[in-house]
Structure 1
């Protein structure tokens, strides 16, 4: 089956029935063709809990117009990716594979029908090239979800024809301005489907437990980026890996609490952690290659060709492209597997039992939730301190190579990252001083993260240089790149001890604010007696 792919970048506007379409002069310097009229009818599909809609994915079967067929719209860094397949009676297998993590073996059913009488004006430049497609839509909808109803409205859409065109976004902004000048208002809904369905029902009991809330956020982030990770995009792979690590951190930090909540169920926390570790490793392999590819490409470009030759640059690109393709295939295979779907099912089950509800409410409930999250910070800070103390002792007493130094500080980085995740779950209040610890953890994580990227880059440089040497190519340029990365790491590590000390100082500041808050609360209680 032929699948067409486009990037959709558009602006949407709400408009009253009595407002006229902007005049041709309003779109200048673009010239308007048309209008052409189309009668469109689309049925939208989703799971019973509207998982696709929740994660900003749209699946529809549309008739009418010049692009009738199956359409799948996926969120992207800029705009949306739209996949199109020929009209048929069933959802294309390629589309099901693209959203498998969101659907999870569950049936898809119609959730809404949207009919649209569309008038299309093609806006062209002075060379006759189509730049913007302006649509005047008269919409009627029927929602099939609980509480759904019928509705009608009018809206305008302005969509870029070729997002790669350098001046496309400037033209879109000018058309948008013409629309608002004519009396339209920027749409309050992200899509026709979102407006047809209305507000989504709550997915869970938010606030019942801070542990459940943390798991829900991490699982939601994993699923938000699942479609992009399947497409092996840089952002999708990175953000999904971050979410996986967040889940591992939350489960590990609150293992004692979660063990109590999962007692009597078939949920196996150590098994979940192992599966998440495997998934993180698969994503990490591709992520590391993507980072190194971008890093070394920029680094090589900064040297003249008589230092880093075109042959060296070509080999770097070719070798990393092959490795990225292989790693990407492993990611796609892993995310299509029953093993992954089973993992996502179990994570949903864990969210369902984590924390439970409580009869407590108001200030006491918020305080207990805060104390639980602070206990997680305390646990992670103890692990951070242990790693920091051991590392600084070895740095002072042993004659370490750079590689040994990097390995030791990498452990500290992982502890700082886990601590940062727990700190980020805290809400800054007038009583608690949270921001300094959050900032200090972020600074240390960033510095040591750059060091680890340099370590990975040097590993790849050595590997590719050996292949180049076997092919009797000059390896001088690889040596230059290697030494550049080595120097970068040494300079970055110079500030390690002060950055690590800043984390400890910030934790003490948080602890002091906690003690002061407790004293104020005790004093307040005595005053009421």
Structure 2
């Protein structure tokens, strides 16, 4: 069974003089010698180094206190999430799955072997609590695939204790700097090994690296960013991290919206089939997510009801309903991420990013082409809001406001894509559409909550339970929706005045 920890560390160049005296670092009461460890790690990657290109490392390491398989995923400079699995001869399935969005149908092979002699010291406070582990690593690297040769070097590594304040590393770095120790030029041992052994280091993709100039450049920069987000969020979704599913779903929506809005820039004959597959993926991601959000809303609303007005096992029924749905949707989603259809979609997005289906307008001035597309979406939002509010309260108005919300979301994403080209007007429009989306989202959540409350009420009644509390919650949801509807006209007038595009 794999477990995850947040690793915050810094690496420094070192000669043979060893570690400078760190007893002068603020907060350090003692430096404890923890002896020497012999580590033997084999790093695995595809033949074209897809993992290393993404600053992802996968290794099998023996020796030390944490022997096993380690997968490290980048979070920020100097910060990685490390997923650890027990030592075994073959790659554990859990870790293989977490690399799938990058490896896909490729094959993982040993690429580098690192043998490290590590002298370890612990920096502790006055109570003996660990602040950071500092090691002097003497490294020998052998290239196993994609090149040949060997390299060796010595480096200093400072890893923050679990739950420690990252600011402490600044204090250590200041002390090291005074002793003439400088930060390493390589982000990791693997990166240095690949660079210093014959065969070279991985290179990032060439597509999208030049600053955007034309309308097509700006649109494709946004498309590539969302493609990258889907790939990078895949492990987070598999690990069920907070907001992972939501963020991946947003990336799919941004792509679909971009294809629709900028149809004068990108050929729809190419993008429409891709958009259909993105819609499928978003739908699969939403099965559990929508239910989770709705469950949180209903349980929160129930918590606000005085105990005297809660009749029957309402809380238990809501919990069981939410848990049963979550279990089924989780298993289904993992199956989707392992499916050939999903991996084919990722390949298709890569192909589109590398060879975009640009139309004539793609070569145009972004200030004209992109602004025109965003204004067109904005005008559609206006029509939908006015049409919806002209309907009497009920199903037709609810449906109209839901359509307006979806169009507002599309306009927001279009303004985001145009932001680097249009500047402040696009940012103002993005902010305005986000505000409208939030307001109409509250209304739609109320609509869906009432549908669920009717269903749960019927089930409770059939079981001989009181439906009183469900009716009470239903009435409160009606009031919340009515408040949104009452404020919508004035809110929309303010938004139209704020959005200058």
Task: Please indicate, yes or no, whether the TM-score normalized by the shorter chain is above 0.5.
Answer: yes
Q: What secondary structure is seen at the aligned counterpart in 2 of 1:343?
A: helix
Alignment of 1:5-404 (within 5 A): 5-14=3-12, 16-17=14-15, 18=17, 20=19, 23=22, 34-74=33-73, 80-88=81-89, 90-121=90-121, 134-140=133-139, 141=141, 150=151, 152-161=153-162, 168-170=163-165, 173-174=167-168, 177-178=171-172, 180-183=174-177, 191-194=188-191, 196-197=193-194, 201-206=203-208, 207=210, 209-210=216-217, 211-255=219-263, 257-259=265-267, 269-308=271-310, 311-355=313-357, 368-381=365-378, 385-396=379-390, 398-401=391-394, 403-404=395-396
Cα deviation for residue 490 of structure 1 reads 2.4
> Distance in 1 between the 2:18 and 2:61 partners?
28
Cα distance change, pair 26–212 in 1 and its aligned pair in 2 (3 A): closer
1:320-345 superposed Cα distances (whole Å, 9 cap, x missing partner): 12211111111111111111111111
Please report the TM-score for the alignment, with normalisation by the length of structure 2. Answer: 0.82
Q: Is 2:460 aligned against 1:454? A: no
Cα distance change, pair 154–404 in 1 and its aligned pair in 2 (3 A): same
> Distance in 1 between the 2:127 and 2:483 partners?
53
Cα distance change, pair 463–230 in 1 and its aligned pair in 2 (3 A): farther
> Distance in 2 between the 1:131 and 1:306 partners?
51
> Distance in 1 between the 2:369 and 2:142 partners?
45
Cα deviation for residue 115 of structure 1 reads 3.4
Asked if structure 1 preserves the Cα contact closer than 8 Å seen for 2:43 and 2:111, the reply is yes
Cα deviation for residue 222 of structure 1 reads 0.8
Cα deviation for residue 491 of structure 1 reads 2.1
Cα distance change, pair 154–227 in 1 and its aligned pair in 2 (3 A): same
1:482-528 superposed Cα distances (whole Å, 9 cap, x missing partner): 33333333223333223434454455x33xxxxxxxxxxxxxxxxxx
RMSD: 3.8
Asked if structure 2 preserves the Cα contact closer than 8 Å seen for 1:41 and 1:63, the reply is yes
Asked if structure 2 preserves the Cα contact closer than 8 Å seen for 1:380 and 1:418, the reply is yes
Cα deviation for residue 122 of structure 1 reads 5.3
Cα distance change, pair 457–152 in 1 and its aligned pair in 2 (3 A): farther
Q: Is 2:495 aligned against 1:495? A: no
Q: What secondary structure is seen at the aligned counterpart in 1 of 2:66?
A: coil
Cα distance change, pair 147–450 in 1 and its aligned pair in 2 (3 A): farther
Cα deviation for residue 407 of structure 1 reads 2.0
Q: What secondary structure is seen at the aligned counterpart in 1 of 2:106?
A: coil
Cα deviation for residue 319 of structure 1 reads 2.0
Which residue of the partner structure matches residue 521 of structure 1?
A: none
1:436-487 superposed Cα distances (whole Å, 9 cap, x missing partner): 2222112111222233233333333333444344444444444444333333
> Distance in 2 between the 1:12 and 1:499 partners?
49
Cα deviation for residue 131 of structure 1 reads 5.1
> Distance in 1 between the 2:74 and 2:309 partners?
42
Q: What secondary structure is seen at the aligned counterpart in 1 of 2:267?
A: helix
Please report the TM-score for the alignment, with normalisation by the length of structure 1. Answer: 0.78
